[in-house]
């Protein structure tokens, strides 16, 4: 079972809700606080394991082979200090979880799954939570009104989906270099902290009361993350840090398409250049997440684990597992914003197309050749930007240097 001692700063109850002793990880018979973590991949499993080891109450929601593995033998959790099995109470979906006042929903799936999952969970009843204004006092309120939802995802679109339903949405920038390539197994090599989070309330609160409530929820979640081995920062302008993380993702996730090379570096610079131009047109400010106040990653490092070489980016891992990819919400987000503001983002569009096609056809990660990449860059910029064309030629004539992508 995932139940344990209560957190030193327990997750917030719904307005007017009750809190009681920690109880069953799935049943609503008692009103203890717990985290309901939806999605048990690299990020969700790492957070769940650290929470459980810190004594917090957790239930995870998984599917398919991953769910079967978690139920059969728990999570095989591999860290630099050793390997252990972490028992996780696992459910297959919202129909197996009785929500209760004090729960915190945590969405840790990929961005492409957000809309469907938010809609699935938003209107589930919450036991022992007081109905909102104008609601039937005899009926339990829905999760969207009674519970906060925390988003552990890349991109900037998930908050919009969540805010259509949930009154309290905590968005985050996630720094966790974990790998999930096999069901029921996660490798998490960050030391001395497991990773880091920048947290803040999404959207613009309607008044001081909502703002204070959102800040309080974010602070309490951050406290439990710190208790569980993460460094955190709580900010009032999370959207700026999310935009900064998207710029990082655009460059880093190129490893899903290309092996390391000078030409890949050129492509990374081009997609980020396009993104910055689009952000400027859209009035979006991007801030480097590492600059968030109080986020202490100065001594943080990725420690090699013998026998478990570090895998690539999250998109690389998705292609390696044969799963769906979130490129529509990374490169595709830049393409969308460009089209909404009278611009073009052709390199991002080409990369989104290639990665989505690779997922559909089962192509291996990093299987796009340099000649194909050169053709993309030349077609987009070769005539208009002669300097770029010359850099492409120089890159193709230079031997590739092997390095960590």
For the chain, residues classed under CATH 3.40.50.720 are 35-236
Q: Encode pLDDT of 134-161 as tens digits.
A: 778 888 999 999 999 999 999 999 999 9
Confidence of residue 234 (pLDDT cuts 50, 70, 90): very high
Q: Is 59 within 8 Å of 70 (Cβ atoms)?
A: no
- Looking at residue 264, its pLDDT comes to 87
> Strand, coil or helix: what is 127?
strand
> Strand, coil or helix: what is 22?
coil
Task: Write down the architecture of domain 35-236 according to CATH.
Answer: 3-Layer(aba) Sandwich (3.40)
Q: Poorest-confidence range of 93-107, 264-278, 314-328, 367-381? A: 367-381
Q: Is 393 within 8 Å of 266 (Cβ atoms)?
A: no
Q: Is 107 within 8 Å of 81 (Cβ atoms)?
A: no
For the chain, residues classed under CATH 1.10.1040.10 are 244-396
Q: How far apart are CA 219 and CA 148, in angstroms?
A: 13
- Looking at residue 4, its pLDDT comes to 40
Residues 6+ apart with CB under 8 A from 82: none
Q: How far apart are CA 136 and CA 115, in angstroms?
A: 27
- Looking at residue 376, its pLDDT comes to 81
Confidence of residue 27 (pLDDT cuts 50, 70, 90): very low
Q: What is the CATH number of domain 244-396?
A: 1.10.1040.10
Average pLDDT over residues 399-403: 41
Confidence of residue 71 (pLDDT cuts 50, 70, 90): very high
Decide if pLDDT at 122 tops 70: yes
Residue 198's nearest CA partner among 241, 135, 160, 157 is: 241
Q: How far apart are CA 370 and CA 263, in angstroms?
A: 7
Q: Encode pLDDT of 315-352 as tens digits.
A: 888 888 888 899 999 999 999 999 999 999 999 999 99
Residues 6+ apart with CB under 8 A from 274: 334, 338, 345, 346, 347, 348
Q: Encode pLDDT of 252-277 as tens digits.
A: 888 888 888 888 899 899 999 999 99
Helix (H) or strand (E) holding 15: none
Is the previous residue joined to 373 through a cis bond, with omega within 30 degrees of 0? Answer: no
- Looking at residue 136, its pLDDT comes to 80
Average pLDDT over residues 370-395: 65
Using CA atoms, how far residue 131 sits from 17, 141, 211, in Å, is: 9, 5, 21
Confidence of residue 393 (pLDDT cuts 50, 70, 90): low
- Looking at residue 224, its pLDDT comes to 96
Q: Is 111 within 8 Å of 157 (Cβ atoms)?
A: yes
Q: What percent of the chain has pLDDT over 90?
A: 67
């Amino acid at each position: 079972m995932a139940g344990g001692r209560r957190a030193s700063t327990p997750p917030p109850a719904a307005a007017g809700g009750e809190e009681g002793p920690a109880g069953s990880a799935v049943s609503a018979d008692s009103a203890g606080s717990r985290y309901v973590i939806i999605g048990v991949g690299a990020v969700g499993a790492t957070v769940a394991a650290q929470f459980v080891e810190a004594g917090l109450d957790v239930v995870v929601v998984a599917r398919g082979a991953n769910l079967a593995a978690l139920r059969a033998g728990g999570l095989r959790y591999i860290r630099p200090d050793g390997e252990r099995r972490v028992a996780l109470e696992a459910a297959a979906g919202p129909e197996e979880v009785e929500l209760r006042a004090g729960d915190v929903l945590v969405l840790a799936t990929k961005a492409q799954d957000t809309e469907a999952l938010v809609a699935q969970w938003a209107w589930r009843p919450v036991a022992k939570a007081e109905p909102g204004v104008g609601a039937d006092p005899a009926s339990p309120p829905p999760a969207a009104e009674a519970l906060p939802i925390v988003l552990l995802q890349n991109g900037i679109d998930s908050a919009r989906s969540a805010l259509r339903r949930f009154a309290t949405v905590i968005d985050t920038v996630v720094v966790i270099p974990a790998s999930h390539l096999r069901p029921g197994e996660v490798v998490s090599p960050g030391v001395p902290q497991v990773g880091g989070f920048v947290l803040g309330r999404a959207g613009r609160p309607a008044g001081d009361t909502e703002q204070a409530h959102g800040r309080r929820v974010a602070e309490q979640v951050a406290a439990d993350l710190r208790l569980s081995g993460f460094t955190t920062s709580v900010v009032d302008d999370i959207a700026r840090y999310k935009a900064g993380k998207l710029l990082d993702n655009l460059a880093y996730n190129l490893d899903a398409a290309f092996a390391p090379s000078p030409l890949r570096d050129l492509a990374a610079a081009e997609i980020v250049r396009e993104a910055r131009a689009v952000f400027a047109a859209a009035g979006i400010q991007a801030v480097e997440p590492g600059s968030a106040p109080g986020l202490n990653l100065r001594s943080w490092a990725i420690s090699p684990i013998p026998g478990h070489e570090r895998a690539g980016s999250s998109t690389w891992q998705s292609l390696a597992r044969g799963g769906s990819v979130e490129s529509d919400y990374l490169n595709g987000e830049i393409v969308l914003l460009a089209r909404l503001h009278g611009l073009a983002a052709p390199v991002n569009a080409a990369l989104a197309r290639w990665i989505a096609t690779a997922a559909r056809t089962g192509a291996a990660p990093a299987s796009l050749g340099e000649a194909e990449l050169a053709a993309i860059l030349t077609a987009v910029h070769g005539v208009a930007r002669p300097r770029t064309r010359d850099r492409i030629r120089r890159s193709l004539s230079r031997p590739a240097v092997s390095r960590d992508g």
